[in-house]
Structure 1
Amino acid sequence: MILIGLDPGLGCTGWGVIAAEGNRLSHVANGQIRTDAKQSLPARLVALHDALAAVLAEHCPAAAAVEEVFVNSNPQSTLKLGQARGVVLLAAALRGIEVGEYAARLVKKAVVGTGGAEKVQVHAMIGRLLPGVKIAGADAADALAVAITHAHHLASRSAVRDRLLKEQAA
């Protein structure tokens, strides 16, 4: 199954595509979508949508995962992040892709083992989980971490469902 992880931001949105076969994960692609800060907000949102739509069309993921919004001290920054996140969710929804949403602490715990992990630790673990990966930048690393988290959650959900079906059949 091809999965895409997304780390939304108005200035830079990271994306990471992985393939998940059971417990085996492999890197497909990753990158960052940057918008021009000199453009108007609507123009930047359109640019983000169009670039992300191209990534989704190229990789045809079966599922997507997005990092949840965190509230920072600057309400204006939080609002812009929320608007970029809305565009990311819309782009996936327009392609009929189901989206999982994960808090940053949960992503860190799934990838590193602790919710308080530093970005450097997350980056290092991505290198171990996806050997040979060349990460396009910090936002792409975060997106790959979100994709890995979603892959783990989907695998767990599938295992529980299979077990319940077996028990019902018995």
Structure 2
Amino acid sequence: MRVLGIDPGLRNMGWGVITVEGSRLGHVANGVIRTGQDGAETELGARLSVLFRGLCAVIAQYAPDAAAVEQTFVNRDAAGTLKLGQARGIALLAPAEAGLQVGEYAPNAVKKTVVGVGHAGKEQVQHMVRVQLPGVSFAGPDAADALAIAICHAHHLQGRALRVVSGQRGVA
């Protein structure tokens, strides 16, 4: 199974694809879809289009079986939160349009799953992603976060599968 993790952002949307074979995880690819190059402000609609087309291209190239997106936390700036929410909408729409079920996880849930602590720092998360995906090279911090989201979703899918199997054993 291939899992796509997405770290939504209006300027930089991180993505990461992993494979899941039993309890083994493997790195496939990761990257960042960038808008507003060189700090130039670009119209919001155009940025969202770049994000959507970029994410659709990633999905077409790597053919994931499932996707997961990090939930947005509220910023101090309401306008910034709304714009981030629009980028998050793109992160949910692109995989849904491809027929994928999309999991959603709070940042603390991702950190707790990957590191074991819900308030872990970025360096700790990146270290544990490297431990779980040996030899991985990050395209940037947003891509590392996206891989952590994919790992989180993989663990939740594995837990769900185990509950289904153990539930079937109980039925005789």
Q: Same fold (TM over 0.5)?
A: yes
**Which segments of structure 1 move beyond 4 Å, counting only runs of 4 or more?**
none
Deviation at 1:38, TM superposition (A): 2.2
Deviations 1:135-161 (A, max 9, x none): 111100000000000000000000000
> Match for residue 56 of structure 1?
59
User: SS at the partner of 2:108?
Assistant: helix
2:163 to 160, 163, 170: 160
C-alpha RMSD of the superposition: 0.6
Identity of aligned residues (%): 56
Q: Could you tell me which amino acid in structure 2 is paired with residue 122 of structure 1?
A: V
Q: How does 1:2-17 map to 2 (within 5 A)?
A: 2-17=2-17
- Mark the runs of 5 or more structure 2 residues left unpaired by the alignment: none
Deviations 1:35-72 (A, max 9, x none): 01522000100011001100000001000000001001
Q: TM-score, normalised by structure 2?
A: 0.97
1:123 and 2:126 matched: yes
Q: 31-40 or 150-159: which moved more? A: 31-40
Deviation at 1:118, TM superposition (A): 0.2
User: SS at the partner of 2:111?
Assistant: helix
User: SS at the partner of 1:32?
Assistant: strand
Q: TM-score, normalised by structure 1?
A: 0.98
1:136 and 2:130 matched: no
- Mark the runs of 5 or more structure 1 residues left unpaired by the alignment: none
> Match for residue 20 of structure 1?
20
> How many residues in Structure 1 have an aligned counterpart in Structure 2?
169
User: SS at the partner of 1:113?
Assistant: coil
